[in-house]
Copies of this chain bind each other. A is one copy, B any other.
């Protein structure tokens, strides 16, 4: 590959002049500029971004660590972040932590080692908070996405408690007094909040929750499936189930299928964060849908504000977006309707 030196030699100028032409960092005379441009064309010179990054100690790239790219909702967030990032001239380096804290740690190290200018993280459950704080301490801005915590930085996610409460109250309005929760992994912040919404709804309605109605654990579909199967087969089977995540929902539906139970005939059902194309399939599932793309763009905007130094809020700003609720047949409704997102 041709270097800046080759170009300079060919154009009979110094390397600094070439650099100024390439980056428009200083005015360069017309005749000289033309010679340089021509030399660049002839040599096929391309800027070496590595050398450039070394010298400038900036990389114009940001890192995105996401807990699981394979989940549609995260894939959508990725698209949002990416769109804003490229629009602002930043390259996105993506790493997947596959819901494993160890992989998250590794990804963070790899990305910071590569000197990303900033980071967006959707933490896994049991994520290492001090670690993220250490990165902040090194002066690298970090935005936490989706799974908000107590960490002292910018965060963006959805309202979880309220919508979950509404969802459960809706089931209660349909007459259900025995609603179970497939709650996923409580060490994931969003899950804990949704769990709270479930409790609040019952408190509001003055209904006592049976302990065995609350299913928690790893959050994996298979584990939920096993627990739900036991619950469905038990003496006081719930008349309704609400799931706190797509994975939990899969578990519940699989368990129901195992036992030949159908929704809404045999039990009412609703979930947070459901399935793509829910309208095309039966049962049509009542679902809280996150504005995932919007979460992504917002996260990147917050990060950009930090990077350009505009974000002068000393402690982090937390943004909560409103999810959308689509009432479909699985909760017992006869016609579908949607709340404004």
Interface residue count on the A side (C-beta < 8 Å): 46
Q: How far is the CA of A282 from the CA of B278 in the complex (A)?
A: 11
Number of copies: 2
- Complex CA–CA separation, A283 to B284 (angstroms): 11
**Is there a chain B Cβ closer than 8 Å to A14's Cβ?**
no
Quick check: is A312 within 8 A (CB to CB) of the other chain?
Answer: no
| Pair B78/A106 contact, Cβ less than 8 Å | no
Name the distance in Å between A137's Cβ and chain B's nearest Cβ.
Answer: 11
Is B75 a contact of A115 with CB atoms below 8 Å? no
Which residues from chain B contact A82 at a C-beta distance below 8 Å?
Answer: 96
Given contacts A78-B69, A93-B93, contact A47 B280 (CB under 8 A): no
* A72 in contact with B69 (CB, 8 Å): no
Q: Is A46 a contact of B250 with CB atoms below 8 Å?
A: no
25 A-B residue contacts at CB 8 Å? A49-B113, A50-B53, A50-B54, A50-B114, A50-B115, A51-B54, A54-B54, A70-B75, A70-B76, A70-B79, A72-B72, A72-B75, A79-B96, A79-B98, A86-B103, A86-B106, A91-B114, A92-B95, A93-B93, A93-B94, A253-B277, A253-B280, A257-B279, A275-B276, A275-B281
